[in-house]
Every structure is written in structure tokens, then in C-alpha cells.
């Protein structure tokens, strides 16, 4: 009997020790590059890759909530549509791309986080001719976490401002293409930050409101939600789409409207939407206080609704 007790004690001790070592185990981040999972430190691509040399490529940012990939199909479809628009052959199909994403998520033991999928034109020479990129396009998948704005701003709201840098005209680069060229947006962000604002409102060439540097913009006026239409130079945001769906479900009026800065200044509420940002309230635009300086009720309701949606709407892995 004594011997048996001793044995059980020994086993219990062993299990405890094992549990401690599992807890301590650090997962080294692994990056997917062209079919291989490579430790972050060694995850490298060629300096001749045209994604680096010319911004020649496309990408997606996708969120994962408690093992559910939110709006997966929409993101995959947009990735392949962006690639199609720049005549870039993605060397694997959509199904394989999803498998690769899931493989990367699992390898990194990520339950909550953010996946960045990048497809570049691949390795060429120093000229911009894409025909010189002889091998396949390069596929990179990074599973990580992301925080676009500090937590405090989700409670207090953002101060944003219109900036001089405009959106590309659709005849140049269509805003629907989620390409590796974000230079206007980066300049816009710098302009906003230099002036003490957290985010920039970009106008299109005609001076109408388009979007922010990595988010779509919504305003509320007289209980009605409005966001600029795609032809105003907007990326057709997937979170934007989810917000529109949520308003339909809760019978909040919502429409796409061509908006001016006047409309923004006189809004009852304003918020931004995006995969990385989710929904973030705006309380100041170009020095004008919006929504009495705090997040408005419709903004808060949609934030709650979106959060609930992310718990049920997604592909489990």
C-alpha cells in the first residue's frame, strides 16, 4: 500500500514538472515563405525581389479570434482579385493558400492575432520589367499580433485631420488593389503625426472624403450612418462591409454617400473601421469637437456588435 502511494506521488510530481516545462516553452516565431516554415531570424527573401524594389505585389491583413479566422473567404477573394488586377499569378490556389495560413497559425500556436499574407512578383533584375521575374511569385505569411492604436484611444477616441497628400486617382492605381505601394498613405500618416493628430483623413483628387491611411471612415448624422462609396478612392474594407451588414441587422439606416469635410465637421459621431483597428471612435476632426468629445452611442453599439460577430463568424482551425 505504502509503495503504491509513493508511486502515485512520484507520478504526480512528474506531471507537475512536465506542466511547468510546457508553460515555460517559448514558441519561436515561424514565417511561411514559399511552402516552408522558417524561424523569424532566418526568414529572408532576395534583395532582388520586386516587392522590395518596386512595391510590386499585393497583401492582406486578416484577424483571428479564439481560433476563428474572421471573414476568411472575403480576404482570400480580395487577395486574388488584387493579384489579378496587377496581372500577378499566385502560384497556389485559394484552398492551398488557406491551408498555408492555417499551417502558419498552428506552427505559431496562435489563437488570437493577425495574419499578414504577402504575394510579391518575385526575384527579377534591377529593371522593373516583371517578365524578368522568372521564378514564381513569392508568398510570405506572417502570423503575429497587431495593435494599430494604443488601447486608451479606443475609450477616449481619436483626433484626426485632413492632410495634403491625396489618394491615387483610379486611372492611376485603383484603390481596390491592396498593393504593396502605401507611400501616399505613409506620407499622409507622417503629415498627421507631425501636426499632432493620430490619424489622417485622405481626400480624393476632387476634394471629397476618401478614407484614412489604413481604415475606412464612417459618420453618423441624425441616426443615419454614412461612408464614402468605393468610387471616392476607398478600399472596399472587409470590416466596412461587416459594419454595413450589422446596421442592416439592427435596422440602423446606412448608406454610401459622397462626403465633404463639412459633413465630417457636422457629424454627430464618427469612427474608423479596419481589420487591424477594428472600430475606433473619432472625437476630433481638424480641431472641431465631434460627438461632444466622446464616443457616440451608435459607435459603441456597433463596436459591441462587431466584437460579438467575431466570436461566431469565422473559419475554425
Binding positions for ligand PMP, rule: CB under 6 A: 61, 185, 211, 214-216, 235, 237-240, 273-275
274/296 with CB nearer ligand PMP: 274
Active-site position among 71, 178, 189, 284 = 178
30/271 with CB nearer ligand PMP: 271
To ligand PMP, the closest distance from the beta carbon of 48 in angstroms equals 26
32/70 with CB nearer ligand PMP: 70
To ligand PMP, the closest distance from the beta carbon of 271 in angstroms equals 13
198/211 with CB nearer ligand PMP: 211
To ligand PMP, the closest distance from the beta carbon of 202 in angstroms equals 8
To ligand PMP, the closest distance from the beta carbon of 245 in angstroms equals 12
Three-state SS across 241-263?
Answer: HHHHHHHHHCCCCEEECCCCHHH
To ligand PMP, the closest distance from the beta carbon of 230 in angstroms equals 11
To ligand PMP, the closest distance from the beta carbon of 41 in angstroms equals 28
Query: How far is the first Cα of the chain from the last one, in angstroms, to the nearest whole number?
Result: 46
Residue 312: exposed, middle, or buried by beta-carbon count in 10 A (0-12, 13-18, 19+)? exposed
> Which residue(s) pair with 158 in the sheet?
282
Candidates 208, 195, 213; CA nearest to 284 is 195
103 annotated active-site: no
Distance CA 188, CA 238 (A): 22
Distance CA 290, CA 296 (A): 9
To ligand PMP, the closest distance from the beta carbon of 237 in angstroms equals 3
101/123 with CB nearer ligand PMP: 101
51/61 with CB nearer ligand PMP: 61
Distance CA 169, CA 289 (A): 30
Distance CA 238, CA 80 (A): 14
Contact between residue 197 and residue 160 where contact means Cβ atoms under 8 Å apart: yes
105/238 with CB nearer ligand PMP: 238
Residues forming the active site: 178
Amino acid at each position: 500500500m505504502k509503495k503504491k502511494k509513493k508511486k502515485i506521488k512520484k507520478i504526480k510530481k512528474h506531471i507537475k514538472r512536465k506542466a511547468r516545462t510546457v508553460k515555460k516553452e517559448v514558441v519561436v516565431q515561424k514565417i511561411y515563405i514559399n511552402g516552408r516554415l522558417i524561424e523569424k531570424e532566418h526568414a529572408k527573401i532576395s534583395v532582388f525581389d520586386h516587392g522590395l524594389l518596386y512595391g510590386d505585389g499585393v497583401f492582406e491583413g486578416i484577424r483571428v479570434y479564439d481560433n476563428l479566422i474572421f471573414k476568411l473567404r472575403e480576404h482570400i477573394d480580395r487577395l486574388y482579385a488584387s493579384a489579378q488586377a496587377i496581372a500577378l499569378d499566385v502560384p497556389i490556389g485559394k484552398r492551398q493558400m488557406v491551408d498555408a495560413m492555417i499551417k502558419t497559425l498552428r506552427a505559431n500556436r496562435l489563437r488570437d492575432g493577425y495574419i499578414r499574407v504577402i504575394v510579391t512578383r518575385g526575384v527579377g533584375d534591377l529593371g522593373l520589367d516583371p517578365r524578368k521575374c522568372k521564378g514564381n511569385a513569392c508568398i510570405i505569411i506572417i502570423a503575429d499580433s497587431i495593435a494599430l492604436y494604443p488601447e486608451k484611444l479606443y475609450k477616449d477616441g481619436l483626433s484626426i485631420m485632413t492632410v495634403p497628400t491625396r489618394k491615387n486617382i483610379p486611372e492611376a492605381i485603383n484603390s481596390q488593389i491592396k498593393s504593396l505601394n502605401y507611400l501616399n498613405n505613409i506620407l499622409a500618416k507622417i503629415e498627421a503625426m507631425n501636426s499632432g493628430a493620430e490619424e489622417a483623413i485622405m481626400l480624393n483628387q476632387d476634394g471629397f472624403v476618401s478614407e484614412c491611411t489604413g481604415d475606412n471612415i464612417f459618420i453618423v448624422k441624425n441616426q443615419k450612418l454614412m461612408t464614402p462609396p468605393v468610387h471616392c478612392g476607398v478600399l472596399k474594407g472587409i470590416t466596412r462591409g461587416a459594419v454595413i451588414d450589422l446596421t442592416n441587422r439592427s435596422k440602423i439606416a446606412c448608406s454610401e454617400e459622397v462626403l465633404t469635410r463639412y459633413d465630417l465637421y457636422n457629424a454627430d459621431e464618427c469612427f474608423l473601421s479596419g481589420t487591424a483597428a477594428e472600430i475606433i471612435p473619432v472625437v476630433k476632426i481638424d480641431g472641431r469637437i465631434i460627438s461632444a468629445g466622446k464616443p457616440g452611442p451608435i459607435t459603441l453599439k456597433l463596436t459591441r456588435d462587431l466584437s460579438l460577430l467575431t466570436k461566431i463568424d469565422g473559419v475554425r482551425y
